[in-house]
Chain A
Amino acid sequence: MVVIEQSAPLDVGVAVSPRRRSLRLLRSLGRGLAVAVPVLFIATFITYGLGALSKFSPANAVLGDTATKADITRMNHQYGLDRPFIVQYFSWVGRAVRGDFGTSWFTHIPVTQSIEQRLPVSLSVAVGALIIAVVLGTLVGIAAALNNGGWFDRAVTFVCSLLSTVPGFVAAIVLITVFAVSLPILPSGGYVGPSVNIGQWLKFLILPCLSLSLDSAADLARQLRNGLVGTLRENYVTGAVVRGYSTRRVVFVHALRNGAGPALAVLGLHVPRLIGGAVITETVFALPGLGQLAKDSALRGDVPVVQATLLVTIGLVLVSSLLVNIGLRRLRPGTGRAE
């Protein structure tokens, strides 16, 4: 989201030469990076500071029954925790840039290894949720707009509003109750890697992705519907209908292109949430993703893992924002007008 909002106001869709377009693309990429770097600095500083402020030390996690003061001091020295904060921070960042996040205080497993194992899970869920949100949101949004004021339209509005009042874990548990227990057609939780079995991978992803996507799908449907209802009233659409184009064609060619702007912007806002906000989904569906790693580590005071997962998530959010932003500018289906 960070970068997206930087791009506003979006220019109106005037024809631009390919060269100017790629130049503009470069410039927007550059501007994005110029924003991303200080942002990364601030976010990581907060992240690292959080660990330093906490009372935890590797001694808590590692040393057993008979740790002495000397043991603890030795351990803190071994982990470099007796250096000034700012030195620690920069040494952490320096190592992180090279992909070295240190070792878990608790499991002694290199943090990079844990993250590599979990990243595919989180990405699978996020991408899956994104796809479901786009497909579901678009279909429902269009259908509702065509049905403007009808029962379907009103039902969609109601359900979307309802969904936004339900805590995430309740929705997840309801989905499990329906699809894993009442109609036992999908697994209630767990994860199978795509390299093991693609079919199983998809099967295990359906419920968590659906649960995670509900919010975004509802938001998208609502935005698309509102945007489309607005556009469908505009003169040129009426003109097209008068000229005898089928409603379907009018919707897909004219209206969708113009009504999709705000919907895409909403999507942009949701992408970081899908990446960084799946803790509840991962918990209820027992998915070994980054969110759960962060949660479990935070609760056991495993500071290096918490810091690393936060850093990786922040990086992912920034990168995805950058990509969404560029994508938005490229597609730019008359975003300016819809705004």
Chain B
Amino acid sequence: MNTFRRSWQLRSAKISIAILLVVVVLVVFGHLLAPMNPLQQHDGQILKGPSSRFWLGTDYLGRDVLSRLLAGSALSVLSALEAVGIAFGLGVFPGLASVYLGRSFEWVSQRVMDGLMALPFIIFAIAVAALLGNGLHQAMFAVGILMAPGFFRITRAAAWSFNQAQYVEAAQLLGASPWRVIRTHIWNKVLPTVAITTANHIAGALLVVSSLTFLGIGVVPPTPTWGGMLASDLSYLAQQRWAPIFPALVIMLTVGALNALADAIRDSAGDSVRQTTGRRRLGRVQNVGAR
């Protein structure tokens, strides 16, 4: 846990955490903080610039942009978390298990993960969403599956390297069960690696969600999302040139904070973590397939 304590000392980590705390507040209380009903269409106020009444202006239906941004935080972030949660579950546990459950499990799980990695990212997500029902959950499920190999590999590599450590061998010799070894010795060591990967993948998932929204996948009108607002603002550039800036900034700040936090943890971690997650920023997923 020293890794985390050390990383908190970094200035970049402090700033990132401050931003992410704000995001968390927005996710939990965003709909309460919204000064207006984010769905209310104000007559005669279509595509207006910022004013004392509408701080960030109004959208193509005369809805308050600030309120929509605030209220849209929850769905935007939670959908990214949903994808990463699925990836986490499908990646981390098999990743640990592949080190301990014998060669056949190892071989099969590796081939399955390789198979998933060979799927073209955004095309597959679109295909899943389009063929299995055009919902946000379908799309996020697809993204989760596609991100699973990232967690799998990194967890596996970390667990493997610690598994070679002498104290682990000692515990094994003393007859500790694999699960006990994992719980008491490996898990804590793997945690920084997993944390870095998680932060990077949440950032990546946020971008992927925006891109899918741009393509019209997984949108649920009239519920606002950051990506959805950004995509629709681009249709009204002639009327409001500045409009895309607000949702874009929110996305960029959140993604940037997550990436910076991941870097901070990595920088504070020991050599082994740096090796398994790659050098600074190597393990980042960012726009994976989002172009």
Contacts and interface: CB of A to CB of B under 8 A. Distances in A.
A contacting B, Cβ–Cβ less than 8 Å: yes
A2 B281 contact: no
B291 interface: yes
A43 B118 contact: yes
A298 B259 contact: no
B141 to A, nearest CB: 12
A280 B123 CA distance: 10
6 contacts: A51-B131, A165-B256, A169-B214, A272-B118, A279-B123, A280-B214
Given A219-B284, A310-B124, 6 more contacts: A45-B115, A164-B287, A222-B280, A279-B123, A283-B215, A298-B131
A205 to B, nearest CB: 15
A212 B286 CA distance: 13
B111 A165 contact: no
Contacts of A53: 131-132
B122 interface: yes
B289 interface: yes
Interface string A292-315: 001100110101001001100110
A43 to B, nearest CB: 4
B10 interface: no
B259 A276 contact: no
A50 B111 contact: no
A5 interface: yes
Interface in B242-291: 244, 248, 251-253, 255-256, 259-260, 275, 278-282, 284, 286-291
B182 interface: no
A178 interface: no
A239 B57 CA distance: 62
B114 A39 contact: yes
Interface stretch (B82-90, B92-100, B227-235): B227-235
Contact of B131 (A40, A54, A281): A54
A244 interface: no
A339 B274 CA distance: 10
Interface residues on B, range: 35 or more
A291 B211 CA distance: 14
Contacts of B203: 165
A334 to B, nearest CB: 15
A56 B259 CA distance: 40
A66 B123 CA distance: 33
Contacts of A56: 131
Contact of B259 (A35, A165, A173, A211): A165
A164 B248 contact: no
A46 interface: yes
Contacts of B253: 165
A54 to B, nearest CB: 4
Nearest to A45: B115
Which of B211, B275, B284, B288 has the largest number of chain A CB atoms within 10 A?
A: B211
Interface string B217-236: 00000000001001100100
A281 B230 contact: no
A51 to B, nearest CB: 7
B288 A166 contact: no
A295 B120 contact: no
Contacts of B248: 166-167, 170
Given A161-B256, A317-B120, A167 B115 contact: no
A75 B31 CA distance: 50
Interface of B: 111-112, 114-124, 126-132, 153, 203, 207, 210-211, 214-216, 227, 230-231, 234, 244, 248, 251-253, 255-256, 259-260, 275, 278-282, 284, 286-291
Contact of A313 (B111, B115, B123, B251): B123
A164 B286 contact: yes
A309 B123 contact: yes
Which of A162, A169, A275, A276 has the largest number of chain B CB atoms within 10 A?
A: A169
Contacts of A212: 291
Contacts of A257: none
B114 to A, nearest CB: 4
A313 B120 contact: yes
A67 to B, nearest CB: 21
A294 B215 CA distance: 13
Which 6 pairs between the two chains have the least Cβ-Cβ distance?
A276-B120, A42-B115, A168-B291, A54-B131, A298-B130, A277-B289
A306 B132 CA distance: 13
A43 B132 CA distance: 18
A168 B118 contact: no
Contacts of B116: 42-43, 46
Contacts of B252: 162, 165-166
Contacts of B112: 42
Contacts of A121: none
A38 interface: yes
Contacts of B153: 5
Contact of B123 (A172, A173, A266, A291): A291
A215 B126 CA distance: 21
Contacts of A137: none
A223 B278 CA distance: 10
A278 interface: yes
A313 B290 CA distance: 16
A332 interface: no
Contacts of B115: 38-43, 45-46
Contact of A310 (B111, B127, B214): B127
Contacts of B210: 167, 169
A212 B203 CA distance: 19
Contacts of A301: 130-131
A276 B289 contact: yes
Given A168-B207, A277-B290, A299-B130, A39 B118 contact: yes
